[in-house]
Structure 1
Amino acid sequence: MTESKLHELWLNSISGIGGATCKLLISHLGSAEAVFKANDSTLLKINGIGEITAKSIVASRQRINVAEKELEKVVKSNARVLTYLDDEFPKRLKLQKDAPYLIYVKGRATGLNSQKNIAIVGSRNATDYGTHITQKIIERVNHLKGVNIISGLAYGIDIAAHKAALKNNIGTIGVMANGLNLVYPSIHKNTAQQMLTDNQSGLITENPMDAQPDGPKFPARNRIIAALADAVIVVQAKKKGGALITADIGNSYHKDVFAVPGLITDPLAEGCNNLIKHHRATLFSDVDDFIKTMNWDTTTPSPSKQMHLFQPQDLDPLEQKVAASIQKSPLHIEEISIQSQIPLAKLASTLLQLELKGVIKMKPGNIYTLNT
């Protein structure tokens, strides 16, 4: 581990300073090391950094040994630390305003930036039916190139999704509400170990290495699950629960959210049925329909069918960049954002302008294609 990682861990450990403030500091000063070396007056010149925050940063330098010990734990556990400036940091996660500044990763975890990420979540008290549906979904998406399964390593649907992915040689990422030195629940240690030895899979968390799970950490974990995914599928859920939090966050992130319906008399179907009822999720009944909605066709249009219907001079540079990204094949809004590295809020207005100019059109599922 480099010296830069030490300072990144130090910055991340300062009480009262969250991911947004860490990013603000680095955007002005260039690195965590520069923040460590900055004096009070330099810090106070940054818009948004007040006296209390500046004093907290300066005082925390006396506790650099805490970061040193944390770095030792990372190295000993054969884990790694990624900040939003690292190439390996998940591109989908980076786009969200409330993304953590830093994450811990163990295992190869190549699925963090897979082409097609599916989050599968649901009740911790899943029935045999819910487990069966989860397994069948994963079996049926196995043919898709670059597909990866995201979940939370919890009881029920989560662990069923991880196990089914491993069985079908699909990469799977477990997002944890605790540190990497602990597997919670402990009964899932064997599955977690399989994920660490798999070429595509792994474990990630925003929490320090020895952090214990507690109430607030689970909703925070759920936002990372939603952020990493292109689509969120809720298989079974009660009226209230973590899976519904993940679905709601997914909607706020402009992800495609799906829910498997169930009997109206089944408490484990109430959450899914309500998501569908209130138009917060698309009804999931068939994998082929899901793939069509996501526009994850396994075939690529031939070059002869790719039409150049617009002239560069008719579009501003941002519009040209977006139009070029979907020239080869239709893309989901999230994929366009990832490829172009344009934040979703800014991208939405650019897509609208391209639609008004007749260059592109939107298909179901937030899929955009050239207007042929």
Structure 2
Amino acid sequence: MSDQDLFYLLALLKVDGVGDIMAKKLLSHFGNAESILKAKANQIAGIDGVGSVLLKNLKDKTIFEKANKELEFIKSDGIKTSFFQEEDYPDRLKHCIDAPVLIFSTGNIDLQNRKIISIVGTRQITSYGTEFCKKLIEDLVPLDPVIVSGFAYGVDIVAHQLAMENNLQTIGVLAHGLNQIYPRTHKKYMAKMEVNGGFMTEFWSSSNPDKEKFVRRNRIVAGMSEATIVIESADKGGSLITANLANDYNRDVFAVPGRVTDKYSQGCNNLIKTQKANVLTSAADLVYILNWDVENRVKTVQKQLFVELESDEQKIYDYLLKNGKQLLDIIALECDFPIFRISGILLNMELKGVIRPLPGKLFEAI
């Protein structure tokens, strides 16, 4: 994005009444921010959601002073910007309707073709939570995931530290501008995080870490990740908000179970009890449910067997590999085989060692 395009985009985002959803609506109609801000009132008035107050605010000249000040900060401090229509914008976040139009970042963040998970939880992490997080991240190292969290006390900073110790990329999503850090005691971790990962925020340099901004921050943590993991949580807390946002975005959520008497297991246990999260007892649970072992299974089948599959068998195997475990009836329907034929084909595949039956007439590729 050119400096001129960025300047007008910043100005648009400073218009009172233009949030992320309205900005995307206007950009979709006009193509770019400059055209929006130079358009006549009658050109904008017909757009759904645009009223007389917003029309007036779009003509507010002070937005250009604010945009110019922020642009100077961005350039002087080497801040990177990611526009929601650009390739370097977090891919999964693009599909969230309320995702930020513009993200600011520092460090060496690389999200292209990466496995991305967020790890969140209480600010009062216990030894149980710490040990679980340590084992989880160590076991995930061969899959080289990106670890996202909020750089807060407790679970957040433990996850970031463990990611760094294991040479995994880690990203802190902040609830304020990049000209400061909160909490200040975590400043000592910044330089190392920016070597392999970094920091990300939607907030301008004028933004302080106010309470409501942490909730807004959480939607980025949930939206950019393939899955959200809650390590420990009381029955109320920011990590549960993140988990609910992840569910709203149709992401997988995992929670670490704990004793019913433990205060910081109550939130996790409730997520599991209300079926808002998968039980997470080890890295294997995560890998299995997210289907991250598909590549390994393909390699295993190719290396081990070089099994010659009939065309019908190959069709079913490819389907199961892509979609995970499936009911016999669904396999027959999706692969266009009559029921009386599918049973025999599946039996032959089982004997060849490329699929396995599961309880409830389910089958999965090995």
Q: Same fold (TM over 0.5)?
A: yes
- Could you tell me how far apart the structure 2 residues matched to 1:151 and 1:293 are? 21
Deviations 1:174-211 (A, max 9, x none): 1111111111001111212211122xx11111110231
Letter of the structure 1 residue corresponding to residue 57 of structure 2: S
Which residue of 209, 225, 230 maps to 1:229? 225
- Once the two structures are superposed, the pairs formed by residues 171-182 of structure 1 within 5 Å of their partners are 171-182=169-180
**For the Cα contact (< 8 Å) 1:149–1:171, is it kept in 2?**
yes
Deviations 1:35-81 (A, max 9, x none): 1211111111323322221111112x343011000011111221122
Letter of the structure 1 residue corresponding to residue 32 of structure 2: S
Distance 1:68 1:281, change over 3 A: same
Q: Which residue of 1 aligns with 2:213?
A: 217
Distance 1:98 1:63, change over 3 A: closer
TM-score normalised by L of structure 1? 0.81
User: In the alignment, is residue 299 of structure 1 matched against residue 296 of structure 2?
Assistant: yes
Distance 1:11 1:256, change over 3 A: same
- Could you tell me how far apart the structure 2 residues matched to 1:215 and 1:69 are? 25
- Could you tell me how far apart the structure 2 residues matched to 1:225 and 1:293 are? 20
Distance 1:262 1:299, change over 3 A: same
Q: Which residue of 1 aligns with 2:53?
A: 52
TM-score normalised by L of structure 2? 0.82
Over aligned residue pairs, what C-alpha RMSD do you find? 2.9
1:103 shift after superposition: 1.1
- Structure with higher Rg: it is 2
Q: Which residue of 1 aligns with 2:162?
A: 164
**For the Cα contact (< 8 Å) 1:103–1:206, is it kept in 2?**
yes
1:304 shift after superposition: 8.1
Q: Which residue of 1 aligns with 2:147?
A: 149
Q: Which residue of 2 aligns with 1:253?
A: 249
- Could you tell me how far apart the structure 2 residues matched to 1:39 and 1:306 are? 65
Letter of the structure 1 residue corresponding to residue 334 of structure 2: G
Letter of the structure 1 residue corresponding to residue 277 of structure 2: A
1:127 shift after superposition: 1.4
**Structure 1 unmatched runs, 5+:** 310-322, 333-353
Q: Which residue of 2 aligns with 1:336?
A: none
Q: Which residue of 2 aligns with 1:6?
A: 7
Distance 1:305 1:284, change over 3 A: farther
Letter of the structure 2 residue corresponding to residue 31 of structure 1: N
Which residue of 315, 322, 335 maps to 1:330? 322
Q: Which residue of 1 aligns with 2:192?
A: 194
Distance 1:172 1:178, change over 3 A: same
Q: Which residue of 2 aligns with 1:243?
A: 239
Distance 1:329 1:32, change over 3 A: farther
**Structure 2 unmatched runs, 5+:** 325-329, 337-357
Say how many residue pairs are matched. Answer: 326
- Could you tell me how far apart the structure 2 residues matched to 1:231 and 1:188 are? 25
Letter of the structure 1 residue corresponding to residue 55 of structure 2: A
Q: Which residue of 1 aligns with 2:204?
A: 208
Q: Give the match's secondary structure for 1:158.
A: helix
